[in-house]
Amino acid sequence: MPRSVSMSLANMHIQCYFGVCLFLLGTLNLCLCHLTPRVSFPIGSPGRSIVLFSNTDIGNTTTLLLSDDEKSLFVGARDAVLLLDVSQPGVMEMKSKLDWSPSSTDLDDCSMKGKKKVDCHNFIRVLRFLNNTHVYACGTHAFSPFCTYIDVERLSISGKVHEGRGRCPYDPYQRNTAIVVDGELYTGTVADYRGNRPVISRYLSQAPHTDLKLDDTLGWLEDPTFVSSTILPSKEKVYFFFSEVGREYDFIDKLIVSRVAQVCTSDVGGQRTLQRRWTTFAKAQLLCHHENELPYNVIQDVIALPPEDGTSEDEMLFYGIFTSQWSVNSGRSAVCRFLLKDIKAVFSGNYKVLNRDTLRWSTRLQEKTATPGQASCGLHSASDNTLRFVKDNFLADQSVQPVGRVLSLVSPDHRYTNIAAQRIQTKSGRNYTVLFLLTESGFLHKVVLSDKGPHIVEEVQVFRNPQPVKNVVLSVTKGVVFVGSSEGVAQVPVFNCSFYWSCAECVLARDPFCGWDHSSRACIHVSNGSHNIVQDVERGNAKDFCRVPALTPKSRSNQQRPPAVSCPPGEHVYVLLNEVVKLQCPEASHLAVRHWERPNSRLSPDLYLLQDDGSLYFLATPLTLGHYICVSVENGYQQTLAVYSVTQRTSTTPQAVVPLHKKSQATTMQTALTTVALTSQGIQPEVVKTTVKIAGSGDTEPELATNEEVLRVTTTVLDEHSRQDSKNLSSFRQPRLTQADSHDGELQSLANSRTYYRELVAVTVMLVMSLCVLLMGALYTLRPHCYRRAGPQVCPGQDSDVHGSQERDPLSQPTVSVMKPSNQVQDKSLAGSNSTPRGSNGHLPNTPI
């Protein structure tokens, strides 16, 4: 093929590649949807009960272990292991504490290695039950990990403390995973101080098993970050989930891929080849992407959800949180689910071939002598040829695709770190999956996956500051979620049905845990009610299920309200005439739209000001007195949030009633609304006064100002206020109004000067540019006349001493003319000279003859 043709084809391929990338990016932006939590509960909100355990002497309570009876919670903290009593709902008390701190010598050695003193403590990173009486614990221990056995009853160290290399990371900020199967510990971590030797190992092996690990020289792992591990119900295989560098992709930059790896619990290693090494290790890529979208390639956390009752083990689901290494997806998260049978199918298929000389992968088909991921897990007695094949063929050729090849959830606004999942059955017998997602900002999102797509029922703030390492443990029987952070351990109930006070609120929440009971007229848990419970998780159709509109109480989340209290028909508000009235409207949910209504009247924008928080401002006049109703519309259902009756009250001080013209009254209302708008933005009172003067200025008989005029003046002042409050103030800005500038005329003058400041600058610049153009044109016009002179002439801008040796005639010198106006044409140009200038009469200029 000619060189030119090959180069053309290469350019076409490059253009097609970039075209596809742009198409994918555009499609990705179209597919992203903003999931807004319906209800938010800030930390300390009385509308959502949270139990928090914290102690000033205990930090980094991030490793959690719940007992089988779910009455005790073991917490791995910094230099300690805690035992919390969680047997009673809403209670979390410390029963005992085990101190496990490094010695002063260990701390000094850690500091000598260049580590920060705050990182040289013993951070407990492995906490697993070995049996009913002992827990196996490992800690970083001043960058020299150690492990030990802990007696459950006495919470004391039982046995000798031994080295924990390969079982626990050295660095407290490095992630790891561990699981115990039949008293044997399976771990994924690093086995050296620098973190360059990642391993998947088995320890505490019982005969005929032996401790196994990966061969460091085979390149089975490429800088991995372990996130989770799980055991299948059949207890034959252990799955490890992690992200690593994908060496099978030949890119300029390192490409991160998500993996799932498996080992068999019956593996005992090879007889000659792969002695004390895994013979059943295999890994495959996890793809979290939708068609025509960029994939989310970095896995953050995975949770296994057991299959439904009556179904096979292959229906087990794995829900994982994924992020992206590319800046285009920065700050976004996605949730994908994978079926166990799809993972098994990929491990049972073909494998890529690794060339040990070039360290490159190929997908060429060859004779398959063994399958590392086969179901039998019987390679311990295989031949050396078979084991050599396994050493070079451990990466599955195909990737594990998500269920339906779609994303379960995409959040462009939140970055999730940890996940827990639960399956709940509604009153109709339908099963729904509920995800509990923890964000970096410290909120726990409760997400329901339905046929119409995911929706966030609520978000609960569990801790204030973002934490690098966290843990989430779900207790299905107790109905709570335990969240571990550096600030303490939080206990969050999975449902909050009593918060919803009406049938409409209960149905609109679309919470599979909650339903409206018509008999008790309360929103209750579905397992506690009768057969006439109303709920609609798919559509939230409160219009059909709740035919009688109910008045939602005014206070939404500021106080705890008993279910038996009914809301009054309305609240009386007593005001004086010409007083600015503010009516507040509670927020039903973030998905609802609020608006105000008046019986047999329309809210004119000339008389009323509606704020973003739902509050309504207006001036009390005989026309604005009466009833006001705040209405919320969500999912087609309209409900009343607040009812007010604004009534005039008698003032204790006699006031003179001045009759106002209709136009004057409207102007006064607009002036008051302008004052309210500026004051709510934090404008100084002097500026507010100036703006009100401008808005209400006019003749002796005030004229009716239009909305555009009031909006123009208000916007001008707000814009000037925001510019003067900025940090990068320019030296050309106008001075801020102060108390010294209290004179009305000066205030109005300053305000008006601000209005035309930009125009003045523009005119000045244009004038300077015009003068420059005229000056350049004049110089260009004078240039030919200078060259045509026969005698010794002096051009403008030149030195007159060029021909200084020649004798000069005074009459031959050019005259100095008086400057004429710019609209007149001069007959002669100015001539410059180093000699004393003289006038046309031969004498010095400006002197008498």
Alpha-carbon separation of residue 156 from 25, 98, 163, 776 (angstroms): 56, 6, 18, 94
Query: Which is more confident, 82 or 387?
Result: 82
Least confident of 198-207, 233-242, 751-760, 835-844: 835-844
Every domain range in the chain assigned CATH 2.130.10.10: 53-173, 183-413
pLDDT of residue 170: 96
- Of these ranges, 365-369, 614-618, 760-764, the one predicted with the greatest mean pLDDT is 614-618
Give the rounded percent of residues in the chain with a pLDDT score beyond 70. 71
**682 CB neighbour count, 10 Å cutoff:** 8
Structure tokens at 21: 């990338």
Question: Beta strand 431-439 with 443-450: parallel, antiparallel or unpaired?
Answer: antiparallel
Nearest Cα neighbor of 447 from 9, 38, 23, 5 is: 38
The residue to which tokens 């204030």 are assigned: 464
Query: Which is more confident, 741 or 261?
Result: 261
Grade residue 532 by pLDDT with cuts at 50, 70 and 90: confident
Give the rounded percent of residues in the chain with a pLDDT score beyond 90. 47
Q: What are phi and psi of 787, to 5 degrees?
A: -75, -25
Name the pTM for this structure: 0.74
pLDDT of 381 higher than 80: no
The rounded distance, in Å, linking the Cα atoms of 639 and 627 is: 17
pLDDT tens string 123-144: 999 999 999 999 999 999 999 9
Up-side HSE of residue 497: CA atoms within 13 Å toward CB?
A: 22
pLDDT of residue 796: 40
pLDDT tens string 806-826: 433 333 343 333 344 444 434
pLDDT tens string 542-586: 988 887 554 544 444 444 443 333 334 578 999 999 999 999 999
Architecture in CATH of 53-173: 7 Propeller (2.130)
Architecture in CATH of 183-413: 7 Propeller (2.130)
CATH code, residues 571-648: 2.60.40.10
The residue to which tokens 């005929």 are assigned: 208
pLDDT of residue 293: 77
Query: Which is more confident, 767 or 655?
Result: 767
pLDDT of 7 higher than 60: no
Average pLDDT over every residue of 265-285: 90
Nearest Cα neighbor of 391 from 407, 376, 370 is: 370
Structure tokens at 56: 């000033």
Mean pLDDT, all residues of the chain = 78
Every domain range in the chain assigned CATH 2.60.40.10: 571-648
What is the arrangement of strands in the sheet containing 637-648, beginning at the earlier edge strand? 571-575, 637-648, 626-634, 593-597
H-only helix segments in 32-136: 104-112
**What does the buried/exposed string (b/e) look like for 114-134 if buried means 16 or more CB atoms within 10 Å of the residue's CB?**
ebeeeebbbbbbbbbbbeeeb
The rounded distance, in Å, linking the Cα atoms of 826 and 829 is: 7
Structure tokens at 581: 């009235």
Up-side HSE of residue 368: CA atoms within 13 Å toward CB?
A: 17
pLDDT of 827 higher than 50: no
pLDDT tens string 294-307: 889 999 999 999 99
Nearest Cα neighbor of 124 from 376, 409, 484, 647 is: 484
The rounded distance, in Å, linking the Cα atoms of 811 and 821 is: 27
**64 CB neighbour count, 10 Å cutoff:** 19
pLDDT of residue 625: 92
**Strand, helix or coil for residue 13:** helix
Average pLDDT over every residue of 258-268: 93
Average pLDDT over every residue of 49-63: 92
Query: Which is more confident, 414 or 23?
Result: 414
DSSP state of 551: P
pLDDT of residue 678: 55
User: What are the residues facing 425 on neighbouring strands?
Assistant: 431
The rounded distance, in Å, linking the Cα atoms of 565 and 571 is: 16
Q: What are phi and psi of 369, to 5 degrees?
A: -90, -20
Average pLDDT over every residue of 465-490: 88
The number of helices, as runs of H, and strands, as runs of E, in the chain is 11, 41
pLDDT of residue 585: 93
**647 CB neighbour count, 10 Å cutoff:** 13
